[in-house]
Structure 1
Amino acid sequence: MRKIDAELREEMRKTYVGKLMNVIRIKGFNSLKIQDMAEHMQISKASLYNYFSSKEEIIQELTGTYIAYYKEVDQTILNNEITYIDRFQKLFEQEVLTFIYISELFLEELKVGFPDLYETIISARRQRKMNIRQFYEMGMKEGIFHSLNPSIYTVQDEVMLRKLLDPAFLLEEGLTIKQVLLDYYQAKKIQVFKDQELKKMNDKSTILEKIEYLTRKLSNSYSS
């Protein structure tokens, strides 16, 4: 095994694991052999072993990537120096990306095959829900958001995104991914923010950029 600079090695590990996200979301990881993973990473099996010693290490890296993303966004939504609308948009983006990549199949296989990793990611999700609740409660306390149980927002996202982004639903209703995301964002924004806050907003350009990005991610995941 050739030696690779530690910083570069870590960067490449994240890059290669990122290439597995779509296939693992759809097929899980139990059926994937090391050779299959190498093919999805677009490297040889020998090259894969320069970065990972085993399939277990790959799953550990993938789980760690998801948890790190949770923590990164959590730090953003609880940062009072960032406007509420910017934090709201970041949370919206995370909800969609979580839907795209962290599938129930992945979690089920993780629970059976790697129970310690499963508990780690579930713990991170619990903390995330607590942070989301705190974000909404802060907005309500400051008179920015309508008063409503924050748990409703969380459950609503889980249910609505699963339905709205179902390819069969999109086809049946003649809708595009971009339009569904934009409409759902606008509907949720009106639901969360009070009228006086909505009148002061100028969020069109920033949310369109995020939705274009999310649309590309979803389109790629559907075509995988």
Structure 2
Amino acid sequence: MSADAPRPIRVLLAEDQILVRDSFKVLIDTTPGLTTVGEAGSGAEAVLLARRHRPDVVLMDIRMPGMDGIEATRRICADPAGSGTRVLILTTFDQDDYVHASLRAGASGFLLKHATATELLAAIRVVAAGEALLAPTVTRRLIADFLRRAHPAPATRDLGHITQRECEVLTLVGRGMSNSEIAGHLHLTVGTVKTHIGRLLAKLQARDRAQLVIAAYDGGLVDPRPR
């Protein structure tokens, strides 16, 4: 790599199935701009290797022997020394409980294993850039889960320190809208929406957009009752 070339995105693989893990490694290591820095076969090993290598992205399976991927995600994201590490959950299990637990543990992305190689590589780049990525159906499933609850939990987060406009933006983020959709809905520019989201991230101490979705739920901005 030349002195002027950008540093490749460093990926840690956490997957207990060796054949699957090897496939991911070949895919990543043969893709320009990406490289693997370690391989873990359990959640505990993923935490250890994340602390050792400080990867940009951990590609994390959920079901692994011993410590599962959700607990491993929680520990990696809670480590102050690893604040630059993002976790992308990759699983075959398209279930709401896993989505909720993964996002609350600090994951920046959630992708199902039936995604294509192109989608996976794009997801790694998006998450490494500090953005949040959810599989196309995930945000809608999160909302649908809240709608199905007969007795939703009351608001548990005080949002009194955000402005009215920021509240409007956060509500639409919670409903699964993209920046361009929010801009159209509120008659703003996409740049202005990005500015509001940046302020929300700072005020709510959220790592990324995925945690803003959780904040919208916790703050009671997404109405859990059927319309």
> Which has more radius of gyration?
1
Both structures adopt the same fold (TM-score exceeding 0.5): no
Q: TM-score, normalised by structure 2?
A: 0.29
Q: TM-score, normalised by structure 1?
A: 0.29
